[in-house]
Structure 1
Amino acid sequence: MTYRTGVLSSLHEAGADAWTALLARQAPGTDPNPFLSYAFLHALHESGSASAKTGWQPHYLALWDGDELAAAMPLYAKSHSYGEYVFDWAWADAYHRHGVEYYPKLLSAIPFTPVTGPRLLARDDAARAALVDALCTLQRASGLSSTHVLYPPQEQAAQLEAAGFMLRSNVQFHWLNQGYEDFDAFLATLEHKKRKNIRAERRKVLDAGVTLRRVPAVEATEADWRFFYRCYKNTYAEHHSSPYLNLDFFQRVGATMPQNILLVFAERAGRPIAASLLVHTADTLYGRYWGAIEHVPCLHFETAYYQPLEFCIERGIGTFEGGAQGEHKMARGFLPTRTWSAHWLAHPAFADAIERFLARESGGIEAYMDELNERNPFKT
Structure 2
Amino acid sequence: MKTSQPCSIDDLDPGQWDALVPAGQPFLRHAFLQALELSGSVGGRSGWSPAHQSWFDAQGTLCAAIPGYLKSHSYGEYVFDHGWADACARAGIQYYPKLLCAIPFSPVSGARLLGTPEALSNMLDVLPETLAERGLSSAHINFTDPKADGLLQGREGWLERYGCQFHWHNRGYRDFQDFLDTLSSRKRKQMRKEREQVAAQNLDFDWRTGSQLSELEWDFVYTCYANTYRVRSQLPYLTRSFFSLLAQNMPESIRVVMAVQNNQPIAMAFSLIDGDSLYGRYWGCLGEFDRLHFETCFYQGMDYAIAHGIKRFDAGAQGEHKLIRGFEPVITRSWHYLCHPGLRNAVADFLQEEREGVSQYAKEACSLLPYRQQTSD
Distance 2:43 2:327 in 1: 34
**Following TM superposition, by how much is the alpha carbon of 1:11 offset from its aligned partner in structure 2, in angstroms?**
1.3
CA distances 1:213-260 after superposition (whole Å, capped 9, x unpaired) = 111112111121111111111111111211000110011111111111
Aligned residues: 371
2:5 pairs with 1:41? no
The within-5 A match list for 1:107-118 is 107-118=100-111
- 8 Å contact from structure 2 (residues 117, 151) kept in 1: no
The within-5 A match list for 1:154-173 is 154-164=146-156, 165-173=158-166
2:25 pairs with 1:5? no
SS of the residue corresponding to residue 215 of structure 1 reads: strand
SS of the residue corresponding to residue 162 of structure 1 reads: coil
In structure 2, the gaps of 5 or more residues are: none
The within-5 A match list for 1:305-320 is 305-320=298-313
Distance 1:191 1:73 in 2: 44
Distance 2:175 2:324 in 1: 18
Aligned to 2:131: 139
* Letter aligned with residue 369 of structure 1: A
SS of the residue corresponding to residue 283 of structure 2 reads: strand
Segments of 4+ moved more than 6 angstroms: none
- 8 Å contact from structure 1 (residues 150, 342) kept in 2: yes
Aligned to 1:268: 261
Distance 2:35 2:270 in 1: 16
* Letter aligned with residue 145 of structure 2: P
**Following TM superposition, by how much is the alpha carbon of 1:134 offset from its aligned partner in structure 2, in angstroms?**
3.2
Which moves more between the two structures, 206-215 or 8-17?
A: 8-17
**Following TM superposition, by how much is the alpha carbon of 1:326 offset from its aligned partner in structure 2, in angstroms?**
1.6
Question: TM-score, normalized by length of structure 2?
Answer: 0.96
Aligned to 1:94: 87
- 8 Å contact from structure 1 (residues 61, 135) kept in 2: no
CA distances 1:170-217 after superposition (whole Å, capped 9, x unpaired) = 000011110111111111111111111111111111101111111111
Distance 1:245 1:223 in 2: 17
- 8 Å contact from structure 2 (residues 24, 275) kept in 1: no
* Letter aligned with residue 139 of structure 2: T
**Following TM superposition, by how much is the alpha carbon of 1:141 offset from its aligned partner in structure 2, in angstroms?**
2.9
CA distances 1:34-73 after superposition (whole Å, capped 9, x unpaired) = 0000010000011010114201111111010122110000
* Letter aligned with residue 261 of structure 1: I
Q: RMSD of aligned C-alpha atoms? A: 1.2
- 8 Å contact from structure 2 (residues 109, 332) kept in 1: yes
- 8 Å contact from structure 1 (residues 36, 110) kept in 2: yes
Aligned to 1:128: 120
Distance 1:154 1:281 in 2: 19
* Letter aligned with residue 5 of structure 2: V
* Letter aligned with residue 361 of structure 2: Y
Match of 1:334 among 316, 323, 327: 327
2:305 pairs with 1:282? no
* Letter aligned with residue 161 of structure 1: Q
**Following TM superposition, by how much is the alpha carbon of 1:7 offset from its aligned partner in structure 2, in angstroms?**
2.1
CA distances 1:249-303 after superposition (whole Å, capped 9, x unpaired) = 0111111111111111111122111111011113100010001011111101111
**Following TM superposition, by how much is the alpha carbon of 1:379 offset from its aligned partner in structure 2, in angstroms?**
1.0
